[in-house]
Amino acid sequence: MQNRRPRRTYTEEFKVQMVSLYNAGKPMAEINREYELTPSSLRRWIDRINKSGSTKEADNRSPLEEEVLKLQAENKQLKMERDLLKQAALILGQK
């Protein structure tokens, strides 16, 4: 197995600066090489910043995606409540 490079983190300002370089016409490959970035990271930053001005995933979700996440959380909560009620019914039924 290959030795992986440690995960690096970048500030929001750095990401915006990299996207600005790209938007100003600097080739993506040159930016990746010069700053030792992965192509997928830079591409994701470009897409997100040009779309919403932010690299945060939550800022780039559509209303439909937000609704799906909300419903998934609600579904999880309801399943936990159902399981608790089943356990309570079993305990009360034994007495």
How long, in residues, is the chain? Answer: 95
Domain with 40 in it: what CATH number? 1.10.10
Same domain, 41 and 71: no
The answer on pLDDT for 94 being more than 80 is no
15-55 pLDDT, tens per residue?
999 999 999 999 999 999 999 999 999 999 998 888 877 66
Q: Is residue 1 included in any domain, yes or no?
A: no
Answer yes or no: is 70 within a domain: yes
Q: By the 8 A CB rule, do 94 and 87 touch?
A: no
Q: How confident is the model at residue 1 (pLDDT cuts 50, 70, 90)?
A: low
The one-letter code for the residue type at 2 is: Q
- Tally of structural domains, the chain: 2
* 42 and 67, same domain (yes or no): no
Residue 56: its pLDDT value, please? 66
- pLDDT for the residue 41: 92
36 & 75 share domain: no
The share of the chain scoring above pLDDT 70, in percent, equals: 91
Which domain covers residue 67, as residue numbers? 62-95
Q: 15 and 48: one domain? A: yes
Question: Other C-beta atoms within 10 Å of 42: how many?
Answer: 20
Using CA atoms, how far residue 41 sits from 26, 61, 70, 72, 73, in Å, is 16, 18, 27, 28, 28
